[in-house]
Amino acid sequence: MFKDKLYGIIVCLIIAIPALIAGNMFPIIGGPIIAIILGMIIAVFWKGREKFDKGISFTSKYVLQAAVVLLGFGLNLNVILATGIQSLPIIVGTIAIALIVAYVMKRILNMEKNSAILIGVGSSICGGSAIAATAPVINANDEEVAQSISVIFFFNVLAAIIFPMLGKMLGFSTVSGDPFGIFAGTAINDTSSVTAAAATWDNMWGLGSQTLDKAATVKLTRTLAIIPITLALSLITQRQNNFNGEKFSLKRALPLFVVLFVVASIITTICVGFGVDANLFMPLKELSKFFIIMAMAAIGLNTDIVKLVKSGGKPITLGFTCWITITIVSLLLQKFLGIW
């Protein structure tokens, strides 16, 4: 019954509110990371929480899925494809190489499959949002999600700090924001760090919001890759289950929340095409962000922080390899295409 879950949901809500406020104050860190950290700290000291566990588990699974569905309302497929066409070869190239590197490093490091997939997808597509969409599809547990989010966050912060200095060293244009915007949008994972690096570049050279606008568009274009990636992983997971003796299930192969995410994107695209103001969908996008923060609070509450730290070496190595590879490939493709 829902009443059994209510207490746990309320706890996640209570943690999510200050996490959201703190995330807005410190956007380079973001609400989801703060929520995970708060959840993990509380979990260390919280005893006798049995009556809250059902609600916490519900939040980490179903509220997270709802967040992914609402995320679809932020995607106008026509606008993103039209304005992101310049960066499309770089986006495809960086996503492909990151997934290949994640697969190779998983075998070299002998890592758990789910953690490798989540870090690879998070690195190549859009950080926390991609991990949020992928985790339910591959049946990842909360500790695997928390670890992957933490790894992505670490390299996001490094990128936001280092990339503007790297761009200056490499000689990116200081009169146009496009080259650095494409670089930030394709080589940095999470939206918060993409916007932080792009805004820094604009401020360094007095470019208004040129770099930020380009980086945000490229980042949204990358987000579209969630659709084929999650669908492909759904089918692969279902196929593996078949090998283990389970019958084929269309519901498992094509999870409802992924289908609804696609439907939400199509609805937004059609509505905007008929003249509906895109800002109408803004509350749904904001609600999606808050649901992700709530889910991350639940994941933090279900995570053993000591175990997470002890097992962090391999995931960090994988994340570092993906991050460096994506950065190099983005730069090489931009050079080849004559963007800088």
pLDDT of the residue at 239: 75
Q: Write the DSSP assignment of 178-193 as a string of letters.
A: HHHHHHHHHH--SHHH
What CA–CA distance (Å, rounded) separates 340 from 338? 5
pLDDT of the residue at 117: 94
The helix or strand, by DSSP H or E, that contains position 16, with its residue range, turns out to be helix 2-25
pTM for the whole thing? Answer: 0.80
pLDDT of the residue at 187: 92
297: nearest Cα among 80, 120, 35? 35
pLDDT of the residue at 38: 94
pLDDT of the residue at 11: 96
Q: What values do phi and psi take at 76, rounded to 5?
A: -95, 100
Question: Which pLDDT tens digit goes with each residue over 297-309?
Answer: 998 898 888 777 7
Residue 132 tokens read as 């949020």
pLDDT of the residue at 244: 57
Residue type at 199 in one-letter notation: A
Regions of the chain where pLDDT drops below 50: none
Question: Which pLDDT tens digit goes with each residue over 19-41?
Answer: 999 988 887 677 888 998 899 89
CA dist 37 → 80, 139, 146, 302, 308 (Å): 33, 22, 9, 11, 12
What CA–CA distance (Å, rounded) separates 65 from 321? 29
Q: Cα-Cα-Cα-Cα dihedral of 197, 202, 208, 212, to 10°?
A: -30
pLDDT of the residue at 56: 95
